[in-house]
Amino acid sequence: MKTINDFIFENKKALIRVDFNVPLNDEFKVTDATRIEAAKPTIVKILEDGGSVILMSHLGRPQGVEEKFSLNHIINVVSDVIGVQVKFAANCIGDDTEKAAAELQNGEVLLLENLRFHPEEKAGDKIFAEKLSKLGDIYINDAFGTAHRAHASTTIIAQFFPENKCFGLLLAKEIESLNSVLHNSKKPVTAIIGGAKVSSKIDVIKNIIDKVDNIIIGGGMAFTFIKVKGGKIGDSLVENDKLDVAQDILNLAKQKNTRIHLPIDVIAADAFSEDANTQICDAFEIPDGWMGLDAGPKTNIGFSFVIADSKTILWNGPVGVFEMDKFSKGTIEIGNAIADATAEGAFSLVGGGDSVAAVKQFGLAKKVSYISTGGGAMLEMLEGKTLPGIEAMMK
């Protein structure tokens, strides 16, 4: 695996695929610059080597050219983060852009307009990829968030740089962190898998089941498991068409000697609402008319105990409806237990939109070992798939 540390960028133009798909508010101001900050180390290394940088990214899901998705909204934030006034090319391909790239001086940065203004980007069009490739001497992929897509700028372009291509520092770190959880991991390894539905996490659970010692299953998806084990789940979320899958997972876990931990008690509510009445009840004895919306106190103690005893921890998905204060305690306790275990020397990796949001919301971002920047890409890696953007760099 080649990274930017294998190259010296003096007098070179680095063409970097970054993930600057950042949230904007109604006034088109960036509300969270995490993704831009995450790309900074790669950009800075190139500039310090004496090279120049051409940045390409998508933003949102435009249908053709749509001003609200223009990357010109983020020029100032990118400039502030990197510490260099960034130039802008109003189209990511074309004569003017080629000229701007050719004239770029060492130490300068050029940001290209939204790649997805051209449908060829998502289509993985080879001619479009070749046009992009003309802009730089060395291609760098530093966009983990789109590494699972075979788009022109993330995958197809790599073939035009047979020797001169490598991973940026962010992407290399993502791969390294996931590898240190799935392979080379210190035992005991614990995965906490939560969220609404088991259907979206089946392949993840099946792939990690023989790589981990414990799987904590929380959130809405736990009830499909509790039901198949004969529990009464009241009006809790359940996927009745996935009962057999849940049973398969339980059987597989037994075979592989992996312990599955389910909630033993829950905070049950009489409505899916912050104003609902609540009671603590046995997770296997939830009355009709009530739904489990958070892990209960005994569960929190049990889950925390498993986490405290772990040397490697992976967390994807909340164990309750953490967006509502009333049902956020279980998810907070998971976050705190992970933070404590990390302070004691465990390696912890948090990924997936909702758990990352939870970790940030509860002020734990600095207390975990690594926060993954790519939800879908991380899930696909956890499912054991080879990501096209990563594979293309290895050829």
Question: Residue 207, exposed/middle/buried by CB under 10 A (0-12, 13-18, 19+)?
Answer: middle
Q: How many CB atoms lie within 10 A of CB 275?
A: 8
Beta pairing, strands 214-217 & 291-295: unpaired
Alpha carbons 393 and 186: distance in angstroms, whole number:
28
Catalytic choice (87, 197, 326, 385): 197
Does 318 participate in binding ligand AMP (rule CB under 6 A)? yes
Whether the CA torsion 258, 261, 262, 264 is positive or negative: it is positive
The structure tokens listed for 88 are 């802008």
Q: How far is the CB of 320 from ligand AMP (least distance, A)?
A: 5
Q: Establish whether 326 is a catalytic residue.
A: no
> Residue 292, interface with ligand AMP (CB under 6 A)?
yes
Choice between 54 and 217, CB closer to ligand AMP: 217
> Is 70 strand, coil or helix?
coil
Pick the piece of the chain touching ligand AMP (CB under 6 A) from 18-26, 244-252, 319-327, 341-349. Answer: 319-327
Site pattern 250..289 for ligand AMP (x: CB under 6 A): ----------------------------------------
Q: Does 219 bind ligand AMP (CB under 6 A)?
A: yes
320 binds ligand AMP (CB under 6 A): yes
Nearby residues of 131 by Cβ (< 8 Å), 6 or more positions away: 93, 94
The single-letter DSSP state of residue 144 is G
Task: List binders of ligand AMP among 47-86 (CB under 6 A).
Answer: none
**352 carries an active-site annotation:** no
Question: Looking up tokens 């798909």, which residue turns up?
Answer: 21
Q: Is 321 in the site for ligand AMP (CB under 6 A)?
A: yes
Q: Does 335 bind ligand AMP (CB under 6 A)?
A: no
Site for ligand AMP (CB under 6 A): which residue of 145, 195, 234, 335?
Answer: 195
d(CA 295, CA 303): 10
Task: Please report, as ranges, the residues that interact with ligand AMP according to CB under 6 A.
Answer: 195-197, 200, 219-220, 237, 292-293, 317-318, 320-321, 323, 352, 354
Q: Give me the active site residues, please.
A: 35, 197, 353, 376
